[in-house]
């Protein structure tokens, strides 16, 4: 059963005393946010984008809603076994043998509430580590998987966390599978389970029409001719690069609006369009925020083949692909110092596993990447 | 060269934000009709980022039917449901592109609820 929609998270450590959907989702959010804080994601993103707090990976106001204390970056891995021994002693829990480390579930919610209270009061990297450690033994798999995802860059016991994430990829709950698979792509990109998942999804994607490529425009380009049948870029791609380019008039289009709401709506429409046209597994060539719409669509379950991103503004983690749903490669093509992306306050390069970056020897021009002359001159087809 | 004009747009947006002078906002509105897509997009993004203060300028442009259908989309991008009634009449506009943009704008605004 999917989780119920949460209108407002439960602030503070109280969520750890409960086991309803809102509480479980809040606990997962707290753990993932702590992981991001310890990794210094916000600091890194602000430096990369030159942006203010509003463009941080996790906006400050959302951290405040969760009631989370600020937490400094903490690099390196801690001795998890030693830390666990101290933590379990404090709560009089049986200390597992390090030789056979089985994750016995802790049933007493007071233990989780106690550790959470300490973290919300102290706000130290030590208290954060304790919370992640104890939540690896939570009864709920979403909480366990979120704890393992958050802890994977800080624990000395990576294999143990990979086992939890691997188990999470078998969950019947889509959200748990997505978090587990995404975390695995960072923690263990060569993990066999990831390859297996891609294989399963590829088979299901192959039930669609098969080889189709489609263009998706970016912001305010819904009436631009370049991406539509007969347009210069559409014609070039159809004649010289992808003879399977979708050319019917009922091709997918979206509002082109410059807002999160417009993109979310477009992502949902794209999933519906692909289902209605039985085009699961199609390849997509996107321009600008069209790429972020596809990222959102993969999170909504869109199964696709290759993804070619042209001048895509980087807004990870707000917009990031669910790689478990992309069955071929993801290639990004862009120019140096894109001025439209600068205005958008997006990042200029992806640093995301599975996305290959290609920067053309062109400066500033956001629209150069869908110019047929640029494709010919710089041999872009060889990059995809 | 368009890059110099783009830098001018960034400067105009900064001065607009600092002084609140509509004159600088109007420069961005004017750039929406630029032939260069980069200038048009940069102006649009800077206008949306200006938030509520951009609304009267866009409403004026809407009444003058300037830069339609882009102006309709920008008004929706600001996310203020108060503009719904101003967008509504355009959903039956004779120009199918304007009518479609108005319908899409209303849909985006509705999804924001």
Q: What pLDDT score was predicted for residue A202?
A: 45
End-to-end C-alpha distance for chain A, whole angstroms: 39
The pLDDT value recorded for residue A5 is 67
Chain A environment of B69 (Cβ under 8 Å): 223
Tally A–B CB contacts below 8 A. Answer: 82
Q: Looking at the whole model, is its pTM more than 0.80?
A: no
Percent of chain B with pLDDT over 70: 99
Would an 8 Å CB–CB cutoff place B99 in contact with chain A? no
pLDDT band at residue A184 under the 50/70/90 scheme: confident
On the question of pLDDT at A99 being above 70, the answer is no
- The alpha carbon of residue B74 is apart from the nearest alpha carbon of chain A, in Å, by 7
Residues of B in contact with A265 (CB under 8 A): 107-108, 111
Mean pLDDT of A344-357: 91
* pLDDT, mean of residues B41-56: 96
Q: What is the pLDDT of residues A42-75, one digit of tens each?
A: 665 555 444 444 345 566 767 777 888 888 887 6
Which of B3, B6, B73 lies at the smallest CB-CB distance from A255? Answer: B73
What is the per-residue pLDDT across A275-323, written as a single tens digit (0 to 9) for each? 999 999 999 999 999 999 999 999 999 999 999 999 999 998 899 999 9
Q: Is B71 an interface residue toward A (CB < 8 Å)?
A: no
Average pLDDT (A153-179) is: 85
CB-based contact B111 A264, cutoff 8 Å: yes
3-state helix/strand/coil string of chain A: CCCCCCCCCCCHHHHHHCCCHHHHHHHHHHHHHHHHHHHCHHHHHHHHHCCCHHHCCCCHHHHHHHCCCCCCCCCCCECHHHHHHHHHHHCCCCCCCCCCCCCCCCCCHHHHHHHHHHHHHHCCHHHHHHHHHHHCCCCCHHHHHHHHHHHCCCECCHHHHHHHHHHHCCCCCHHHHHHHHHHHHHHCCCCHHHHHHHHHHHHHHCCCCCCCEEEECCCCCCCCCCCCCCCHHHHHHHHHHCCCECCCCCCCCCCCCCCHHHHHHHHHHHHHHHHHCCCCCCEEEEECHHHHHHHHHHHCCCCECCEEEECCCECCCCCCCCHHHECCCEEEEEEECCHHHHHHCCECCCCCCCEEEEEEEEECCCCHHHCHHHHHHCCHHHHC
Please tell me whether residue B63 adopts helix, strand or coil conformation: helix
Residue A178 confidence class, pLDDT cut points 50, 70, 90: confident
Q: Is the dihedral of CA A43, A48, A52, A58 positive or negative?
A: negative
Minimal Cβ distance to B45: which of A223, A261, A343: A343
Q: Is the predicted pLDDT of residue A176 greater than 90, yes or no?
A: no
User: In this predicted structure, what is the pLDDT of residue A294?
Assistant: 98
Mean pLDDT of A184-201: 72
Query: Cβ contacts (< 8 Å) between B37 and chain A: which residues?
Result: 224, 366-367
Best of A227, A343, A364, A371 to disrupt the B interface by mutation (most B CBs within 10 Å)?
A: A343
User: What is the reported pLDDT for A175?
Assistant: 75
Please give the residue that has the higher pLDDT: either A100 or A92: A92
Given a cut of 80, whether residue B3 has pLDDT beyond it is yes
Could you report the predicted ipTM of this complex, rounded to two decimals? Answer: 0.91
Q: What's the confidence (pLDDT) of residue A227?
A: 96
At residue A40, the pLDDT reads 79
pLDDT grade, residue A171 (50/70/90)? Answer: confident
Over residues A360-372, mean pLDDT: 94
Residue of B nearest to A338 (CA): B38
B76 Cβ under 8 Å from any chain A Cβ? yes
* pLDDT exceeds cutoff 80 at B41: yes
Domain enclosing residue B49, as ranges: 2-111
Q: What percent of chain A has pLDDT over 90?
A: 54
pLDDT at A180: 84
Q: Do A340 and B38 touch (CB under 8 A)?
A: yes
Using a CB-CB distance cutoff of 8 angstroms, which residues of chain B are in contact with residue A367? 37-38
Per residue in A265-278, pLDDT tens?
Answer: 999 999 999 999 99
pLDDT per residue as tens digits for the range A31-40: 988 988 888 7
- Domains: count for chain B: 1
Confidence of residue B14 (pLDDT cuts 50, 70, 90): very high
Domains of chain A: 12-188 (no CATH), 213-383 (3.40.50.1820)
Which region among A60-64, A212-216, B21-25, B89-93 has the lowest average model confidence (pLDDT)?
A60-64
């Amino acid at each position: 059963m999917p989780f119920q929609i949460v209108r407002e998270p439960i602030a503070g450590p109280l969520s750890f005393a409960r086991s309803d959907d809102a509480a479980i989702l809040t606990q997962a959010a707290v753990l993932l946010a702590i992981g991001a804080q310890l990794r210094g994601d916000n600091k890194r993103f602000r430096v990369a984008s030159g942006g203010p707090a509003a463009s941080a990976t996790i906006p400050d106001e959302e951290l405040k809603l969760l009631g989370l204390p600020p937490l400094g970056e903490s690099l390196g891995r801690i001795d998890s076994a030693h830390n666990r021994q101290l933590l379990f002693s404090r709560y009089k829990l049986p200390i597992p043998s390090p030789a056979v480390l089985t994750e016995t579930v802790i049933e007493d919610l007071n233990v989780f509430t106690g550790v959470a209270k300490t973290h919300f009061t102290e706000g130290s990297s030590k208290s954060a580590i304790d919370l992640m450690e104890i939540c690896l033994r939570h009864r709920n798999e979403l909480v366990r998987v979120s704890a393992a995802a958050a802890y994977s860059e800080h624990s000395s016991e990576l294999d143990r966390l990979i086992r939890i994430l691997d188990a999470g990829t078998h969950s019947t709950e889509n959200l748990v599978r997505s978090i587990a698979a995404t975390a695995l792509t960072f923690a263990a990109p060569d993990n066999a389970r990831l390859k297996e998942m891609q294989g399963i999804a590829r088979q299901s994607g192959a039930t669609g029409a098969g080889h189709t490529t489609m263009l998706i425009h970016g912001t305010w380009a819904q009436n631009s001719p370049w991406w539509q049948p007969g347009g210069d870029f559409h014609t070039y791609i159809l004649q010289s690069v992808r003879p399977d380019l979708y050319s019917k008039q009922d091709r997918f289009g979206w509002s082109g609006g410059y807002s999160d709401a417009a993109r979310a709506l477009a992502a949902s429409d794209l999933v519906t369009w692909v289902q209605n046209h039985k085009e699961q597994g199609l390849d997509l060539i996107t321009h600008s925020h069209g790429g972020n719409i596809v990222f959102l669509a993969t999170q909504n379950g869109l199964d696709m083949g290759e993804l070619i991103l042209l001048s895509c503004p980087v807004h990870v983690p707000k917009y990031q692909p669910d790689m478990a749903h992309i069955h071929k490669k993801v290639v990004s093509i862009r120019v140096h110092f894109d001025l439209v992306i600068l205005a958008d306050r997006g990042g200029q390069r992806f640093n995301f596993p599975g996305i290959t970056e290609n920067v053309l020897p062109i400066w500033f021009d956001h629209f150069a990447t869908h110019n047929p002359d640029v494709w010919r001159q710089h041999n872009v087809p060889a990059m995809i | 060269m368009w890059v110099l004009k783009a830098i001018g747009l960034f400067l105009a947006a900064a001065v607009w934000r600092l002084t609140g002078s509509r004159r600088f906002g109007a420069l961005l509105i004017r750039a929406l009709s630029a032939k260069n897509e980069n200038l048009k997009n940069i102006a649009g993004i800077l206008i949306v980022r200006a938030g509520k203060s951009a609304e009267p300028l866009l409403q004026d442009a809407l009444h003058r039917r300037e830069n339609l259908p882009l102006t309709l989309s920008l008004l929706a991008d600001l996310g203020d449901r108060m503009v719904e009634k101003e967008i509504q009449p355009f959903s039956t506009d004779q120009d199918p592109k304007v009518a479609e943009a108005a319908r899409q704008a209303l849909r985006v605004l509705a999804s924001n609820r």
